[in-house]
Structure 1
Amino acid sequence: MKKKILYWGILSAAVLVVIAASYATWNRLDPNYTCARCHEISTACAKWEQSVHADVTCTDCHGTALESFNSMSEKLNMVYKHFTTKKTFEDIHLTEKQSLALANRCAECHQAEQASWMSGAHSTTYKDIFMDVEHNKMERPYWDCFRCHGMFYDGDIDDLMAMEGGPEDWHIKDASQMDKPAITCLACHQVHHEQPRGMNYKDMDETSRGALAQKAKYPSTALYMRADKRHMPADKLLKEQIFAGDSLVAEIKDANTLLCMQCHAPGTNHQLGSEDDKTTIGDFKDMSCITCHDPHSNQLKTSHRNVHKKLFSTLSK
């Protein structure tokens, strides 16, 4: 009896070792012979090969099944759905939990950008946005708020908020949701974004990174469109026209400015300075937002402070 127990124990251990070794080997192989063989993600792999992240392995961002119980459960669920459902690349989307986990992995390499983001307004939380009493008095939170804040939220506004009573009484139902960031890396960046292979971001110094961000031909930014659950490269966004009365005063073509304007937008009549519009004119016309603003913290360079305020006050005279 003892020999049988010992035999099966050794055999089980050997099987586990073989499985673990095979899985570890699988994770180190060329994705074209592993991940990319699944039709659901072959498109993503093709884009990854042409991106600045081409030297970053799949597991560096997506992790492995052995990292935690949740990771194991997630990967097994993927395998189950692969064989039981007919999904295509267009059907695969990140949940908010996955997007937050991926953003944390972004920070492992992009530490300076993470620190900059944390120091600025774009690191705002759900509580900051949806429980702002003064703003809620002006406008009741509704589904389109998620277009800019909480793009990856898995539910609708009624799932997030309890809005009985007045604005002072409105609150987020799930307390664990309050301190989650409402605008993450993936709001403005697409990981599998096609760019020339020569632009390896990790090997660039700060000056080169800044120069890359300014190149409209290869913008490193892309807007996550919640309604479509996909990214739109910033240079593919519709050009914006800004008016002062009936006069056309600006036609926005800069990719990064167009990205900013998706949330910092004028009113429906596209009037200069309306709503949250920050369009510059005069000597600053056609200047990209990131010329004056740090793209992650949104902080201004000292020499450009109050530019928008001066422009609009001059225009109103």
Structure 2
Amino acid sequence: MHEPIQSQFDLGSLDLPDILGTIHEEVRARLGEGEVAGYIDSLAMVPLDRFGMAVVTVDGEVFEVGESRQRFSIQSISKVHTLTLALDAVGDDLWQRVDREPSGDPFNSLIQLEYEKGIPRNPFMNAGALVVADVVLSNYDDAAQALLEFMRRRSGNPAVGSDIVVARSERESGYRNVAMANFIKSYGNLENDVEAVLDFYWLQCSLSMDCVDLARSVQYLAKRGHCGVAGERVVSYELSTRINALMMTAGTYDAAGDFAFYVGLPAKSGVGGGIVAVVPHVMSLCTWYPGLDDKGNSLLGRYALHRFAQMTGLSVF
């Protein structure tokens, strides 16, 4: 696929500080809504009075508001980055082991695995992310270090690391993921030991970053595969469009259709309350609010992105 001529959106016509300030005021009036991820002890203790948002343009400008520099557990947002590592390692062979379809089921569902003989519906469900983790483990000498280096280079923050309290909490409450990994293994769709796959999966979910870190970490998906933070190409233009497509159709689990309807941007959420989003050729964004809706997505983070798309006219549609 040849790269198209880049359409240059005139960001100068937008007062981004004012837009973010307005969104911040609207969100502050609703703080306390939603429920924290109570099934993970360390996340259950995060107060519902925190909100942050950051925008990083393809030229590297940063606009931010609220607690945009407060670190939080990125959880499933990391699935975008491990998917990138897996695709870089094995390319389209990955799709022999995980599908590319929306699930219609919750992110931690096991239901479809038996019907579909251990092939997860997409790489952003927990089942699919476990297969992706297995691929990363099989193709990098030190998968944990490879992931940490990748996140540090994408974000420009050499201090990015795992929160050991969150990792321990994940391990102590991860019964469904343990069952899922063993079930996938029974179909021969995990090459590595189940414990090794789970350890890597819990590591990626326990990474601690802030809104600016995360917005920068997905800038390559807005910049046609090129990371302006590190000044290097991460993936091809074609592959960046494929990852964005998967984020649009599966990045917010069984709320992906509703999210596309109200926001209209490729996005990936995590139960820590973060959501990253991409405006291709223009910018990447991250919102954080720990109160979740009934689908496991940040309630006010989704609202903030909805308002941002409304106020700027930025959408893929």
Structure with the bigger percentage of strand: 2
**Does TM, scored on the shorter chain, surpass 0.5?**
no
* Larger Rg computed on CA atoms: 1
State the TM-score, normalizing by the size of structure 2.
0.27
State the TM-score, normalizing by the size of structure 1.
0.27
Q: For CA contacts below 8 A with separation 6 or more, give which structure has more relative contact order.
A: 2
